Amino acid sequence: MAATTTMTAKPLAAGADLLRIVHINEEIKRVVGVSVKINIMALNAIFLAKRAGTAALGFGVLSNELRVFSQDLRSCMESLNGLIHACVNQVSIGLQGIRKGRLLSEAARLAPQQASITRILRGHEQEIERRAQRLGALRRQLKGALEDVFQMVELGGVLAKSAKIEAAYGQGFAASLAQVSGEFDGVVEEISGSLESLRRSAFFTGNRENWRG
């Protein structure tokens, strides 16, 4: 009975992992979308700072920095695609392996006289273990990469808040600059929220007693 429960739990856990990866990927795509939005906003802010002249020099510099930040963020998030693809690949192969293992185990139970099946099953289990270790390594790599992005976004938050301060010195343009910098702050907060939800994803924190990796 316990063996049956484990056999059922394994594909369920792997299937849940696949769904979690899909959610992570969707969140990454959302952050990429927001980074494009920051880039356009920063361009507009640069033009606005130029119109404001010397009163918005600092604001102009920060807008330019925010533009660079958005481009770095975008390329950083896009570079996660390779890791996501590798995770999907490992989980998919793992799911196939679990199914194959279930069928081979059942064959071994029905044909106990076949000594060769024990050897094949052992080899199969070792392969699943290797795959699980590879997935574990990818999981850690992805988590590390997301932590790097998180730090980058914290810097983006500092830039947005500094832009808010600089906006106060914008004289006649102060109101427009304050509005733009407020929008910067809002979108960077939005990214932080996305990254926080990624950090909390059960893909990184879930119990993997039945589906190693």
Partner 1 sequence: MKTTKTIFQDGNHKWVAIVRDPQKPNYLIDTNEYLVTHGGKGLVLDPGGAEIFPAVFSALSAEFDPSALAGIFASHQDPDVCSSLALWLEFNPSMRCYISWMWSGFIPHFGGSAETFLPIPDEGMDISLEGLMLKAIPAHYLHSSGNFNLYDKVAKVLFSGDVGAALLPSGADGLFVENFDAHIRHAEGFHKRWMGSNEAKRRWCERISQMDVNMLCPQHGAIYRGEDVQRFINWFDELQVGIVSA
129 binds partner 1 (CB under 8 A): no
Q: Is 13 exposed, middle or buried (CB count within 10 Å of its CB: 0-12, 13-18, 19+)?
A: buried
Can you say whether the dihedral through the CA atoms of 16, 18, 20, 22 is positive or negative?
negative
For partner 1, which residue of 22, 107, 165, 168 counts as binding (CB under 8 A)? Answer: 107
120 binds partner 1 (CB under 8 A): yes
Q: Tell the smallest beta-carbon distance from residue 123 to partner 1 (Å).
A: 8
Q: Tell the smallest beta-carbon distance from residue 121 to partner 1 (Å).
A: 9
3 binds partner 1 (CB under 8 A): no
Per-residue contact track with partner 1, 72 to 101, x per CB under 8 A? ---------------------------xx-
Q: Closest by alpha carbon to 98, among 12, 190, 27, 170?
A: 12
114 binds partner 1 (CB under 8 A): yes
What gap in Å lies between CA 194 and CA 110, rounded to an integer? 50
113 binds partner 1 (CB under 8 A): yes
Per the rule left: phi > 0, alpha: psi between -120 and 50, beta: everything else, 53 is left
Nearer to partner 1, 85 or 100 (CB): 100
DSSP 112: T
Tell me how many residues contact partner 1 (CB under 8 A).
15
Angle between helices 174-199 and 115-167 (to 10 degrees): 160
CA angle at 7 for the pair 5 and 13, rounded to the nearest 5°: 95
For partner 1, which residue of 1, 4, 54, 116 counts as binding (CB under 8 A)? Answer: 116
Residues that bind partner 1 in the complex, under the rule CB under 8 A? 99-100, 103-104, 106-107, 109-111, 113-114, 116-117, 120, 124
